[in-house]
Structure 1
Amino acid sequence: MARDESPGVPFAIPGAPAPTVGRHHVNGCRLYAEVRGAGPPLLIIGAASDDAEMFRPIAERLAGLTGVAGFTVVTWDPRGTRRSTRAGWPCDSYTHADDAAALLQDLGLVPAAIFGASAGGIVAMRLAVRHPDLVRQVLVYEPGFFRSTDSGTALLARTTDAVRKHLRERTDDWAGALAVVARMAGRDPAARPNSPDDTAGRGPLDAPPGLEWYTERGAALAENFIRDDLPRTGETVDPALLRATGSDIRFAFGTDSAPVFREIAETLTRARQRTGADPHLPDAINAAAHLVYLTPDPIARYIRARCLPEEEVD
């Protein structure tokens, strides 16, 4: 079946098998999803401004092939994103989590391992709490729960105010509002560049030179970011619910990300801690930054190490 994709996506594996494409009617909308490989099921959840094609390189690295242990990987366009319909959109993380649960059930791929990144990490955590019977393991990478830390709360307030001001002056200029967010994130006093060379001065939402495909994709989905992802980062966490769920949840951050994301991961790990349990730290993924699709190899290695049975890992 032909795919609606951009052949120029960076990091895609040449000659990788095409996925099975489906459109699934769940919760009053139609969700576009792709399924690759063989093995235990894995659902990758991105933000509303991330479509399935952006996660294609990670999915290709994780798909189980003949003689190679891996997963049956599901990537999808969330409600309101590109090839999925916009009924009931924009929506909160609870709706996206219920959509993810219904999608997994419709595919018959439960219980599944879950990897959620950024605003998709918020959805992954909601999925773990609301539908624990459908998940096997949940990896929550740099979720945008900014209100869980002081630095995150301040950054969210500054960014939200700046976006509102921009949209008052330039109605529906979503790309311009996204640029405002990128500038504000880059001014985060806790943020640091990924390296001392050509990445200096980049913010956590900026793709490096040579990866303009992601910049263009992000600009095309700017409305999704502003109307769905940004409001979602104002949601809060109920520590009691987080501790009570029986789901296997791990929080993680990238070593090349802004420190605010490490702070959030540490805060949520402490909130998850049950009385009397041995303390543990969030997982640190070397050479990974906030936009996980820019570093597919370390992200894929991390997911394999955490979610595949030991005897199946290469």
Structure 2
Amino acid sequence: MVTTHTLDVPGAHLYYEVRGSGPFLVLTGAPMSAVHFAPLAEALAESYTVVTHDPRGISASTLDDPEQDSTPDLRADDIAAILDDLGAESADVLGSSGGAVTGLALVTRHPARVRTLVAHEPPVLEVLPDAAERRAETDDIVETFHREGPGPAFMKFMAISGMTDAEEGAPAGPPEEPSEQDMADGARFLAHELRGTTRYVPDTAALTAAPSRVVIGIGATSGPLLTFRTSTELAARLDVTPTEFPGGHGGFVEAPGEFAEVLRKVLAGS
């Protein structure tokens, strides 16, 4: 059974879903919404109380100011507020893509709230040696969106990210043909989220010192992707060995059952 909830937080009205029973587990993306994580959540609901949500400004989570930019810190505070609303002192967290960056911010800002963070392919471009070049590419994607629209901007985004095959799973890609809501979420991603997410600088000292366990996840077929580079570089900075998950950047959509099996083992510490 799935229960749906709404929560008012400063500047936003958050939509989230809860299913299953057991220890709390948050599945979070950016800009991916709760619907993208539903198959994975169903696969995990026998073992966990699984929380999924629409990040602020995405799908059913509305903003007081539609022009507000989304940042990992804001999204991290939103997850902490959801845990408060549920009366959960702490939770395990799987964050994928921009949600992995949210998870890094959550551990940094609210370390006592996270038992284990699995950061699956965080696009933290600032950790790369060629960060300045990557920053310029991101600016060009955003400027292309404002000048030419979402189609040309997404083409550049996919090419730069290394996602030339749609099955690799673009962060904004829906599990089926794009709806009007998917298109609106994609536009918000390009206009108000992409820069803030990719320019987040992980606080490696805080992440290392936190009581939370931080796991960096990488898709088995993600070798050609830019997020493979960011993930391996961040793992090296944290002195941890990356954990391989099924599929590519969108592995949790491509193979939710297999992804859930690996995630259970990781959360169990094996």
| Alignment TM class, shorter chain as reference | 0.7 to 0.9
Deviation track 1:130-162 (CA, whole Å, cap 9, x = no partner) reads: 111111111100001012113565345324314
Once residues 19 and 62 of structure 2 are traced to their aligned partners in structure 1, the CA distance between those partners, rounded to angstroms, is 22
Residue from 80, 85, 102 that aligns with 1:101:
80
1:228 aligns with 192
Is 1:123 paired with 2:72? Answer: no
Give the Cα separation in 1 of the matches to 2:155 and 2:114: 36
Unaligned runs of 5+ residues in structure 2 are none
**Separation in 2 of the partners of 1:206 and 1:122?**
13
Quick check: 1:26–1:103 contact (8 Å CA) kept in 2? no
Deviation of 1:309 after TM superposition, in Å, equals 7.5
Structure in which a larger fraction of residues adopt helix: 2
Match of 1:289? 248
Map of 1:42-57 to 2, 5 A cutoff? 42-47=25-30, 49-57=31-39
Q: What secondary structure sits across from 1:98 in the alignment?
A: helix
Which residue of structure 1 aligns with residue 111 of structure 2?
Answer: 132
1:290 maps to amino acid: H
> For the Cα contact (< 8 Å) 1:206–1:215, is it kept in 2?
no
Paired position in structure 1 for 2:219: 254
Paired residue for 2:57?
80
Report the aligned-residue RMSD: 2.7
- Using the size of structure 1 for normalisation, the TM-score is 0.75
Structure 1 unaligned spans of 5+? 1-16, 65-69, 194-198, 274-279
Which structure has the larger Rg?
1
Secondary structure of the residue that 1:140 maps to in structure 2? strand
Deviates more, 1:106-115 or 1:222-231: 222-231
Deviation, 1:40, is 0.6
SS of corresponding position for 2:63 = coil
Q: CA deviation at 1:108?
A: 1.4
Q: 2:131 & 2:200 partners in 1: Cα distance? A: 12
Structure 2 CA distance for partners of 1:36 and 1:175, relative to 1, 3 Å: farther
Tell me the equivalent position of 2:150.
174
Of 234, 237, 245 in structure 2, the residue corresponding to residue 271 of structure 1 is 237
Q: Please name the residue that 1:219 is paired with.
A: 183
Partner in structure 2 of residue 306 of structure 1:
266
How far apart, CA to CA, are the structure 2 residues paired with 1:302 and 1:178? Answer: 31
Q: Give me the TM-score of the superposition, normalised by structure 2.
A: 0.86
Deviation, 1:177, is 2.4
Between the aligned partners of 2:9 and 2:167, the Cα distance in structure 1 is: 39
Length, aligned pairs only = 264
Deviations 1:117-141 (A, max 9, x none): 0011000011011111111111100
Provide the rounded CA distance (Å) in 2 between the counterparts of 1:308 and 1:72: 15
CA contact (8 A) 1:289 1:295 kept: no
